[in-house]
Amino acid sequence: MLKSRKDLDRIREQAEKGMGRQRMRAMVCAGTGCLANGSLKVYERLRELVAEKGLLVDIAMTEDACGEGQEAGGGIGVEKSGCHGFCQMGPLIRIEPQGILYVSVKPEDAEEIVEETLIKGKPVTRLFYQDPFKGTQVETEESIPFYKHQHRVVLANCGRINPEDIREAIAMGGYAAIARVLDEMTPEQVIELINESGLRGRGGAGFPTGRKWQFAKAAKSDKKYVICNGDEGDPGAFMDRSVMEGDPHKVIEGLMIAGYAIGADEGFIYVRAEYPVAVTRLKKAIAEAREYGLLGRNILGSGFSFDITVKEGAGAFVCGEETALISSIEGGRGMPNPRPPYPAEKGLFGKPTVINNVETLSNLPTIILNGASWFKSRGTETSPGTKTFALAGQVVNTGLVEVPMGFPLRDLVFEVGGGTRIGRRFKAVQIGGPSGGCLAEGQLDVALDYESLHKVGAMVGSGGIVVMDEDTCMVEVARFFMQFTQNESCGKCVPCREGTKQMLALLTKITNGEGTEEDLALLEEVALAVQDGALCGLGKTAPNPVLTTLKYFRSEYEAHILEKRCPAGVCQALRVYSIDPEKCRGCTLCMKVCPVGAISGERRKPHSIDATKCIKCGACVEKCRFGAINH
C-alpha cells in the first residue's frame, strides 16, 4: 500500500531494477487483432522454450530467485503487450532493446527466435517486414515506413509494456503525473495548465478540455463525477480500444487528474461490452491500482479520495453522445437529451459531470509531466498535440497510427499507409466515421486538424480513416453509412428518425437503378434538414457522408440515375452481363449454372447472355475459368 509520493518512487525503482534484469525482452502483441491471429499461442510457446532453458525472468522475481544464467541483466523476458499498431502484419513481436520487429509470427517460429535471437543475439531475417514496393527487408520498427512518420504520445507505452502488470506501467512513469498533481498543484492550477496546453477533446467536435473542466469546477454541488467515454462505435475505428487494452493505467491516471481538477471523488469508464479484452484489462488495472493504494481513500497521503467503476454498454452507437451515455449509466435507455443544461452543470444523477474520451484523458499525464509548451510544440496553433487514427480499407499498411495534428492527409495515406495496393488507383477516403465525410483526391492535401477538415465538409471525429480505391461505388458507400446511422438512430427526434429513413430509401432507390433527378434534389434537401434539425450531434452529422459524396462525386450519382450505370460495377441491379467472344471457349459451364436459362450457345463456340432474362446473380462469373464474362 503506497502512502506517499516517496513510496511510489520506491516501487518505480524496484520495477525498473526488475526489468533491468532482463538482458533481452520479447514483447508479443496481445491486442485484439493479433490475438485473433493466434499470438497467444506464440507467447505461450516462447515462454515454454525460454523457461526450459532456465533463462526466463519476470520482474516479480527477486535477486534471490535468480537461477543459473539469471544474474542481473542476464535473463530473458517474454511478455504480452498491447497493440503495436501494425495490425495487418500480426502477430507481431518486438525484441528489446534492439528494436527488432518480427511480423506474421507463428508458433512454429518460436524455437528459432529463442535459439537465434534471444540466446545468440542474431536476427531471424525471414521474419522481418518486407517492403512491398522496394522488395527490401526492414529490421527495426523505427525504420518501417508505417512507423517512421509517427510521433507516439498516447500510444507511447502500447506494445512496450505488459498492460496486466501495474509495475511495468509504474516503471514507465505511470502515476507520476497524479503524484505531482496531488503534491504540488491546486485544482485551479491543473485546469490552468490544461487550458494553456490547448488540449481539445479527441472524441469528435474538439471542444477545449480545460474550458469544459472550468464549467464543472464552478458548478455548486455536494457531488461531482467524471466519465471516460470508451464507447467507440464508428465502423473501422479502434483507437480507444487499443489504448484501453494496451495502457489501461494511463486511462485511469487521466481520469484521476480530471476528477481532482473539478472536485469529483468518483469516476466511470463506459466501454462497450464488445471490447472484452479492454474490459478485462481495465478491471484488472483498477483492482491493481486499489491494491497499491492509487485508488480509494487518501491517495498517496494527499487527502484526495477517488475510485472508478467500469460500466459496460450494450453497443448502441448513440451512447457515444454525452447525454445518451449518462442515461445508459443511470440505467435508462441510451437516448440524448436537449442541451442546455450541459452535463458540466447537470449530468450523471443530476450532478455536475465531465465526460472526456479515452484519448483525451490519455494525453493528460504527459501534459502534466512535460508542460503546456511541450504539448503545443506538436500540431498546429489551434489544434496542438497529436492524434491517433485507425487506418483501414484498401491501403497497403493498415493499423493504428499517431501523428501530429495538421499532418497532411496525403502523407497519412501514401507515406504511412503506403498508398493503395499495387495496380489499384486511389479514389476516396472516408474520415470521421458515419459522422465524417468522403473526400476525393482533390482534397488529399488537407491538413488533419479540426478547422481544415471542417472547411471541406469532414471532421476529425474519433479518428477512423477508411481508404477506398477505384472499385468502390461512392453512392453505395453513402448508402452503407446511412444504413448504419438509420439502424443506430435512437428514434427520439423526428429529423433523425424519419430523415435517415428517407435518405436511406432514396439511396437504395438510386443504387437499384430506379432513381430520378428529382430524387437527387430531394436527397440533398432532406440531408440539410436533418443537419439543421436533429437533436444531438450524432444526428446532425449523420448526413455528412451523403453531402460530401454529392459534392465530390456527383457524377457517380448522375451515372446511376441518367445512364443506369454504376461506374465501379458494384451495384448489382445496374450490372450488365455479357460474354467476350474472344475469351469464351464454349465449355458450357456458365450455361449449366445459370438458374434462369439466360445463357445459350453451342459447345466449343462463343456463348451469349440474354439481358432480358438475366437476373444478375453472378453464378456465371464464378464458374467461368477464362474471365470471359464482363459485368
pLDDT digits (tens, 9 = 90+) for 438-467: 999 999 999 999 999 989 988 888 788 999
Is 87 inside any structural domain? yes
Q: How far out from the chain centre does Cα 548 lie? A: 22
- Of residues 612 and 246, which shows the higher confidence score? 246
Rounded to whole angstroms, the Cα distance separating 307 from 595 reads 64
Are both 293 and 422 inside the same structural domain? Answer: no
Q: Output the domain CATH number for residue 77.
A: 3.40.30.10
Q: Region 1-15: what's the mean pLDDT?
A: 92
Q: Which helix (H) or strand (E) holds 42?
A: helix 39-52
Are both 184 and 327 inside the same structural domain? Answer: yes
Q: What is the pLDDT of residues 539-561, one digit of tens each?
A: 899 999 999 999 999 999 999 99
Q: Which helix (H) or strand (E) holds 605?
A: none
Q: Look up residue 292 and give its three cell numbers.
A: 497499491
Is 571 inside any structural domain? no
**Average pLDDT score over the chain:** 92
Are both 268 and 369 inside the same structural domain? Answer: yes
**Preceding peptide of 384 cis, ω within 30°:** no
Are both 498 and 446 inside the same structural domain? Answer: no
Does residue 498 carry a pLDDT above 70? yes
Is 567 inside any structural domain? no
Rounded to whole angstroms, the Cα distance separating 409 from 453 reads 10
Q: Output the domain CATH number for residue 580.
A: 3.30.70.20
Give the domain-ending residue among 144, 175, 201. 144
Rounded to whole angstroms, the Cα distance separating 67 from 54 reads 7
Q: Which residue in this structure is represented by grid cell 509531466? A: 369
Question: Where is average pLDDT lowest: 50-64, 126-140, 300-314, 406-420?
Answer: 50-64
Does residue 65 carry a pLDDT above 60? no
Q: Report yes or no: 199 and 154 within 8 Å, Cβ to Cβ.
A: no
- 579 bridge partner residues: 629
Q: Output the domain CATH number for residue 482.
A: 1.20.1440.230
Does residue 504 carry a pLDDT above 60? yes
Q: Look up residue 194 and give its three cell numbers.
A: 490544461
Are both 343 and 409 inside the same structural domain? Answer: no
Is 152 inside any structural domain? no
Q: 99-117 burial, b for 16+ CB within 10 Å, e for fewer? A: ebbbbebebebbeebbeeb
Question: Where is average pLDDT lowest: 204-208, 211-215, 327-331, 396-400?
Answer: 204-208
The pLDDT confidence band at residue 69, using thresholds 50, 70 and 90, is: very low
Give 440's contacts (C-beta < 8 A, 6+ positions apart).
427, 428, 552, 553
Rounded to 5 degrees, what are φ and ψ at 374? Answer: -60, -45
pLDDT attached to residue 458: 87
Q: 105-113 long-range contacts, Cβ below 8 Å, gap at least 24?
A: 105/39, 105/42, 106/38, 106/42, 107/38, 107/41, 107/42, 107/45, 109/42, 110/42, 110/45, 110/46, 110/49, 111/45, 111/49, 113/26, 113/46
Q: At what angle do helices 239-246 and 276-291 cross, to 10 degrees?
A: 40
Does residue 120 carry a pLDDT above 50? yes
Is 381 inside any structural domain? no
Does residue 367 carry a pLDDT above 80? yes
Identify the burial level of 413 via C-beta atoms within 10 angstroms of its C-beta, where 0-12 means exposed, 13-18 middle and 19 or more buried.
Answer: buried
Q: What is the pLDDT of residues 302-315, one digit of tens each?
A: 999 999 999 999 88
Residue 17, number of CB atoms within 10 A of its CB: 13
Distances (CA, A) of 389 to 282, 418, 436: 22, 15, 13
The pLDDT confidence band at residue 60, using thresholds 50, 70 and 90, is: low
Q: 346-358 burial, b for 16+ CB within 10 Å, e for fewer? A: bbbeebbbbbbbb
Q: Report yes or no: 477 and 501 within 8 Å, Cβ to Cβ.
A: no
Does residue 112 carry a pLDDT above 80? yes
Does residue 270 carry a pLDDT above 50? yes
Are both 481 and 443 inside the same structural domain? Answer: no
Rounded to 5 degrees, what are φ and ψ at 268? Answer: -125, 140
- Number of structural domains in the chain: 5
Q: What is the pLDDT of residues 227-241, one digit of tens each?
A: 999 998 787 788 999
Range of the domain at 266: 166-376
Identify the burial level of 622 via C-beta atoms within 10 angstroms of its C-beta, where 0-12 means exposed, 13-18 middle and 19 or more buried.
Answer: exposed
Q: Is 628 helix (H, G, I), strand (E, B) or coil?
A: coil
Is 14 inside any structural domain? no
Q: Which of 400, 403, 16 is nearest to 243 (CA)?
A: 400
Residue 222, number of CB atoms within 10 A of its CB: 5
Residue 238, number of CB atoms within 10 A of its CB: 24
Q: Which of 139, 119, 121, 125 is nearest to 46 (CA)?
A: 119
The pLDDT confidence band at residue 277, using thresholds 50, 70 and 90, is: very high
Q: Report yes or no: 511 and 472 within 8 Å, Cβ to Cβ.
A: no
Q: Which of 78, 75, 80, 99 is nearest to 91 (CA)?
A: 80
Rounded to whole angstroms, the Cα distance separating 53 from 114 reads 10
Rounded to whole angstroms, the Cα distance separating 228 from 447 reads 28
Rounded to 5 degrees, what are φ and ψ at 262? Answer: -100, -5
The pLDDT confidence band at residue 72, using thresholds 50, 70 and 90, is: low
Rounded to whole angstroms, the Cα distance separating 548 from 532 reads 16
Q: What is the pLDDT of residues 124-168, one digit of tens each?
A: 999 999 988 778 899 999 899 899 999 999 999 999 999 999 999
Residue 234 DSSP code: S
Residues in the chain: 631
pTM: 0.91
Are both 548 and 529 inside the same structural domain? Answer: yes
pLDDT attached to residue 315: 82
Q: Look up residue 240 and give its three cell numbers.
A: 480507444
Give the domain-ending residue among 438, 453, 469. 469
Q: Across the chain, how many H-helices and E-strands are there?
A: 25, 19
Q: Region 480-489: what's the mean pLDDT?
A: 91
Q: What is the pLDDT of residues 166-187, one digit of tens each?
A: 999 999 999 999 999 999 999 9
Are both 229 and 325 inside the same structural domain? Answer: yes
Are both 501 and 587 inside the same structural domain? Answer: no
Q: Look up residue 15 and give its three cell numbers.
A: 520495477
Q: Output the domain CATH number for residue 431.
A: 3.10.20.600
Does residue 64 carry a pLDDT above 50? no
Q: Which of 526, 508, 540 is nearest to 436 (CA)?
A: 540
Q: At what angle do helices 248-262 and 239-246 cross, to 10 degrees?
A: 100
Are both 521 and 551 inside the same structural domain? Answer: yes
Give 615's contacts (C-beta < 8 A, 6+ positions apart).
595, 596, 598
Are both 95 and 57 inside the same structural domain? Answer: yes
pLDDT attached to residue 134: 79
DSSP 172-209: TTTTHHHHHHHHH--HHHHHHHHHHHT-B-TTSS--BH
Rounded to 5 degrees, what are φ and ψ at 215? Answer: -60, -45
Rounded to 5 degrees, what are φ and ψ at 440? Answer: -95, 180
Does residue 245 carry a pLDDT above 50? yes
Q: Look up residue 3 and give its three cell numbers.
A: 502512502
In the chain, pLDDT over 90 holds for what percent of residues? 79
Rounded to whole angstroms, the Cα distance separating 490 from 275 reads 22
Is 513 inside any structural domain? yes
Are both 549 and 402 inside the same structural domain? Answer: no
Is 12 inside any structural domain? no
The pLDDT confidence band at residue 73, using thresholds 50, 70 and 90, is: low
Q: Output the domain CATH number for residue 359.
A: 3.40.50.11540
Q: Which helix (H) or strand (E) holds 282?
A: helix 276-291
Give the domain-ending residue among 469, 497, 520. 469
